[in-house]
Amino acid sequence: MKACFMGLGYIGLPTAIIAAKHGVKVTGVDINPAIVDKTNAGELHIVEPGLAEYLKEVVASGALKASLVPVESDAYFMVVPTPFKGNHQPDISFVESATRAVLPFLKEGDLYVIESTSPIGTTERMANLIFSERPELEGKIYIAYCPERVLPGNVIHELVHNDRVIGGIDEASTAKAKEFYSLFVKGELHGSNARTAEMCKLTENSSRDVQIAFANELSMICDRAGINVWDLIRLANKHPRVNILQPGCGVGGHCIAVDPYFITSAFPEEARLIADARSINNYKADWCAEKVVNAMLRFEIEHGRKPVVAMMGLAFKPDIDDLRESPAKYIVSKVMLSCNNSRILVVEPNVTEHHVYKLTDYRKAYEEADIVVFLTAHTPFKELPWTDSKVILDFCGIFRK
Ligand code: SAJ
């Protein structure tokens, strides 16, 4: 079995590696020559625990080769980004160009799968594109959608053990795609149709966004009501059928803060709760920034001098170095713009250097600051001693019991 993975990013590369480890002869394709060279040298260009050894092994055995262009294979996987445009409309141009790149190689009996998070109808659109360019293939190839579901940081385990949803454009396509994934997936493979599988991925991440919005809304209510939201949620979750997530300084990353827009842009009349959740989670970051600015003004009035402020965390979630779409980063820049005369110490223990912010060691910043703002719940922060000699704005529950 020969397979081509189009896109060697956070999902494409690990999936290509795992498939190669399970006996598939894999060509990993990327438009970035640096990624291709690095991969062929057996070096991992992403941060993912445990994956570097696997990559070395499959490159050394010849099971995985990276390339700038696809080669003739039995199966083709589209694992490219689907960002949104300025108006929150999904941009599927990378899926389309990857599809056009494999078009000349497709032959009878081949499997074509989209893994990229995609708006409803994308698989059908790509099938139409394929058949309009290669009409002789209609009814002769298998086309399916199978979304990835892995959590960065735990990819090796989740790629193999998570259940997968597989939706073909017809039953034969679903069956063919299931056959491929069963080569390395130990979780259950749930057959469906392409539109349902596309919506399923958007639903999973929207569901998380809505649940986090509930926690964030509670945190703002509790702030005004003088209630500790962490205690409240811990107690409410003692009910056997209640499971509230944790509030934070907003929702970041390239999945949960993005995917719901693929629903709201296509169904603006119907998707009201999903749209509200997005705006609550976006608003939470502005709310946090305003709290920081107000605390700084209050400090200046009370002490007759500007405070030193420590902004603790830039990553979009705990214990990672990924700053993309991070609400913490947004809050830091907003606070800096409003109070550019104050000394603001920026802390991110998982990053050694940043091109915009001068980073300070977290212990030093905590010691020096008058106001400490916890934005990301990184584990090392939890060891810092509680003190009431500073103003502490704990937006992510560092000091929760
Ligand atoms: N967050 C909270 N409170 C919580 C949980 C998370 O504020 O209780 C925040 C995080 O701090 C972060 C954001 O939400 O800013 C997203 O973090 P996450 O850990 O919930 O999710 P991601 O973006 O790392 O990965 C998600 C996962 N989806 C679900 O859990 C439903 C993952 O399984 C998907 O594969 C991934 O999106 C994706 O690629 O779509």
pLDDT digits (tens, 9 = 90+) for 6-17: 999 999 999 999
pLDDT for residue 218 is more than 80: yes
For residue 281, give the ligand 1 atom closest to its CA: 7
Mean pLDDT of 358-365: 97
Residues with CB under 6 Å of ligand 1 are: 117, 148-152, 204-205, 208, 212, 245-246, 248, 251-253, 255-256, 316-317
Mean pLDDT of 352-381: 96
C-alpha 352/C-alpha 38 separation (Å) is 22
Q: How far is the CA of 245 from the centre of ligand 1 (A)?
A: 11
Mean pLDDT of 220-229: 97
Is 255 a known active-site residue? yes
C-alpha 129/C-alpha 68 separation (Å) is 22
Mean pLDDT of 245-258: 95
pLDDT digits (tens, 9 = 90+) for 84-134: 888 899 999 999 999 999 999 999 999 999 999 999 999 999 999 999 999
pLDDT for residue 340 is more than 80: no
Q: How far is the CA of 215 from the centre of ligand 1 (A)?
A: 14
C-alpha 51/C-alpha 14 separation (Å) is 7
DSSP state letters, 32-48: -HHHHHHHHTT--SS--
pLDDT for residue 401 is more than 70: no
Q: How far is the CA of 396 from the centre of ligand 1 (A)?
A: 15
Axis-axis angle for helices 51-60, 33-40 (nearest 10)? 80
3-state secondary structure of 261: helix
Between 321 and 265, the more confident residue is 265
DSSP state letters, 85-136: -TTS-B--HHHHHHHHHHGGG--TT-EEEE-S---TTHHHHHHHHHHHH-GG
* Closest among 384, 235, 231, 220 to 291, alpha carbons compared: 220
Mean pLDDT of 67-85: 96
pLDDT for residue 370 is more than 90: yes
Contact (CB, 8 A) for 321 and 307: no
Q: How many helices (H) and strands (E) does the chain have?
A: 13, 12
pLDDT digits (tens, 9 = 90+) for 291-311: 999 999 999 999 999 999 999
When pLDDT is cut at 50, 70 and 90, the band that residue 400 belongs to is confident
pLDDT for residue 144 is more than 80: yes
178-194: buried (b, 16+ CB within 10 Å) or exposed (e) per residue?
bebbeebbeeebebbbb
Is 339 a known active-site residue? no
pLDDT for residue 36 is more than 90: yes
Q: Which amino acid is at 284?
A: K
Given this model, what pLDDT does residue 47 score?
A: 82
Contact (CB, 8 A) for 319 and 154: no
For residue 148, give the ligand 1 atom closest to its CA: 35
Given this model, what pLDDT does residue 331 score?
A: 98
C-alpha 268/C-alpha 382 separation (Å) is 41
**Model pTM score:** 0.94
Ligand 1: residue whose CA is nearest its atom 3: 246
